[in-house]
Amino acid sequence: MLSADYNLSLYTPQHEKDACGIGLIAHLKSVRSNNIVADGLTMLENMEHRGACGCEENTGDGAGILTQIPHLFFEKYAIENKCSLPQLGLYGVGFLFLPKDKTLNEEIFIIINQVLEQNYFKLLFVRDVPVDNSMIGKSALSTEPMMVQIFIQPTFNEISGQDLERRLYVVRNHILRTIVGVFDFLKEVFYFASLSSRTIIYKGQLTASQLRKYYPDLSNQDFTSAIALVHSRFSTNTVPKWKLAQPFRCIAHNGEINTVQGNVNWWLAREKDLKSTIFTSDDLKKLFPVCSSTLSDSGNFDAVLEFLFRNGYSMPHALMMMIPEAFQNDDTMDAAKKDFYSYYESMMEPWDGPASICFSDGVLVGATVDRNGLRPSKYCLTNDDRIVLASESGVLALPQENIIYKANLSPGKILIADLDEGRIIGDEELKAIICNRYPYGKWNAEHTIDINNLEDHIKFSNPSSPELLTRQTALGFTKEDRNLLLATMGSTAYEATSSMGSDIPLAILSTQAQHITNYFKQEFAQVTNPPIDPLREKFYMTLDCYLGPEGDILAIKKENAKKIFLHSPLLDAIKYNKLLNCEKAGYSIINLSATFNADDTSDLQRMIHTLSVLAAEKVLDGCNILTIDNTLISIKRAAIPSLLIVGAVHHYLISKGLRKRVSLVVNGGDIIEAHHVACLLSFGADAVFPSFAIETLTQMAIENKEDINLLAKNYFKAMDNGLLKIMSKLGISTVNSYKGAQTFEALGIHKEVMNVCFKGQFPGLAE
How far apart, in whole angstroms, are the C-alpha atoms of residue 397 and residue 394?
A: 6
User: Is pTM, for the whole model, over 0.75?
Assistant: yes
Catalytic residues: 20
| Cβ count within 10 A of residue 521 | 16
Residue 53 has a pLDDT of 59
pLDDT digits (tens, 9 = 90+) for 290-339: 999 888 899 999 999 999 999 999 999 999 999 999 999 999 999 999 99
Per-position DSSP letters for 406-437, written without gaps between them: EEEPPTT-EEEEETTTTEEE-HHHHHHHHHTS
**Under a CB-based contact definition with an 8 Å cutoff, are residues 99 and 154 in contact?**
no
Band the pLDDT of 459: cuts 50, 70, 90.
Answer: low
Highest mean pLDDT among 93-102, 366-375, 756-765: 93-102
Residue 484: DSSP 8-state: I
| Cβ count within 10 A of residue 363 | 18
Query: CA 315, 319, 325, 328 torsion: positive or negative?
Result: positive
How far apart, in whole angstroms, are the C-alpha atoms of residue 422 and residue 418?
A: 6
How far apart, in whole angstroms, are the C-alpha atoms of residue 445 and residue 458?
A: 27
Q: In terms of C-beta density within 10 A (0-12 exposed, 13-18 middle, 19 or more buried), how is residue 452 classed? A: exposed
Closest CA to 637 of 676, 596, 678: 596
347 vs 502, higher pLDDT: 347
Cα radius of gyration (the chain): 27
Beta strands in 28-156 (DSSP E): 63-68, 92-98, 121-128, 146-154
| Cβ count within 10 A of residue 17 | 23
**Under a CB-based contact definition with an 8 Å cutoff, are residues 267 and 85 in contact?**
no
The three-class DSSP label of residue 97 is strand
Closest CA to 232 of 259, 263, 210, 199: 210
The three-class DSSP label of residue 387 is strand
Instruction: Provide mean pLDDT across the span 203-215.
Output: 95
User: Could you tell me the strand order of the sheet in which 121-128 lies?
Assistant: 121-128, 146-154, 92-98, 191-196
- pLDDT exceeds 80 at position 679: yes
pLDDT digits (tens, 9 = 90+) for 698-722: 999 999 999 999 999 999 999 999 9
How far apart, in whole angstroms, are the C-alpha atoms of residue 544 and residue 564?
A: 11
Omega of the bond prior to 289 within 30 degrees of 0, cis? yes
- pLDDT exceeds 90 at position 16: no
The secondary element (H helix, E strand) that includes residue 440 is helix 440-447
Closest CA to 152 of 109, 99, 201, 103: 109
**Under a CB-based contact definition with an 8 Å cutoff, are residues 631 and 465 in contact?**
yes
**Under a CB-based contact definition with an 8 Å cutoff, are residues 67 and 174 in contact?**
no
pLDDT digits (tens, 9 = 90+) for 236-258: 556 788 999 999 999 999 988 98
How far apart, in whole angstroms, are the C-alpha atoms of residue 237 and residue 278?
A: 40
Residue 3 has a pLDDT of 37
Side chain identity at residue 585, one-letter code: A
pLDDT digits (tens, 9 = 90+) for 112-139: 999 999 999 999 999 999 999 999 999 8
pLDDT digits (tens, 9 = 90+) for 533-581: 888 889 999 999 999 999 999 999 999 999 999 999 999 999 999 999 9
